[in-house]
Amino acid sequence: LKLGIMASGNGSNFEAIAQAIADGQINAQIQVLIYNNPSAKAPVRAAKRGVEAVLLNHRDYKSRQVFDTKIVQTLQQYNVEWVILAGWMRVLTPVLIDAFADKIINIHPSLLPSFKGINAVEQALQAGVKIAGCTVHLVSLEVDSGPILIQAAVPVLPDDTVETLHARIQIEEHRILPQAIALAAAGQGSRGAGE
């Protein structure tokens, strides 16, 4: 399975995928990392893993569609088959979603369909839920929607802050995102279409 990973920030999920591949848990290669934020740490991690990183800064494009067209071109140039959104903080348009129909996976730090959008961990804390978690899902046009692949739950503890709760959720993210990619890779292989 040839993966393209898209990240906007720290890239700990990128790291978890790269490690799972190195450990032989996923039969896949990371073709390219696309990042949109010049100060993201994800490309530093990519360099250490020998993965090519391409900066596509959304501020350089006049619309979301033009930006997504450039992303699709880049993914195709690197022969990407599946796209993994690993902390990608931009809304996708049909330009990208249709080019990789049912082959875009997202990780979101809540138990969807609760707490869509940004600040999901803060939303959970404010709602006073006692169980939080994360969701890996296939991407459809509506933000943080589409068929759910895997979820994991964590407790919310009385003294939690956004930081402590997010850290607990991220431990689960780093487990279920590689697991979901492994499932996708296995499905692909059983249909004989994968590599």
CB of 170 to ligand GRF, least distance (A): 6
106 is in an annotated binding site: yes
Contact 107, 95 (CB under 8 A): no
CB of 109 to ligand GRF, least distance (A): 4
CB of 190 to ligand GRF, least distance (A): 28
108 catalytic residue (yes or no): yes
190 is in an annotated binding site: no
C-alpha 26/C-alpha 20 separation (Å) is 6
C-alpha 171/C-alpha 173 separation (Å) is 6
64 is in an annotated binding site: yes
* Residues 6+ positions from 38 with CB-CB distance below 8 Å: 55, 57
Residue nearer to ligand GRF on the CB measure, 9 or 178: 9
Name the residue with the smallest CB distance to ligand GRF.
87
Interface positions with ligand GRF (CB under 6 A): 7, 9-13, 86-87, 107-109, 134, 170, 173
Q: Which of 58, 108, 166, 174 is catalytic?
A: 108
Question: What is the 3-class SS of 154-183, one letter each residue?
Answer: EECCCCCCHHHHHHHHHHHHHHHHHHHHHH
The residue among 13, 49, 16, 57 whose CA lies nearest residue 31 is: 49
12 is in an annotated binding site: yes
Residue nearer to ligand GRF on the CB measure, 123 or 170: 170
Pairing type for strands 2-7 and 82-85 reads: parallel
Active site residues: 108
User: Which residues are annotated as part of the binding site for (6R)-10-formyltetrahydrofolate?
Assistant: 64, 106
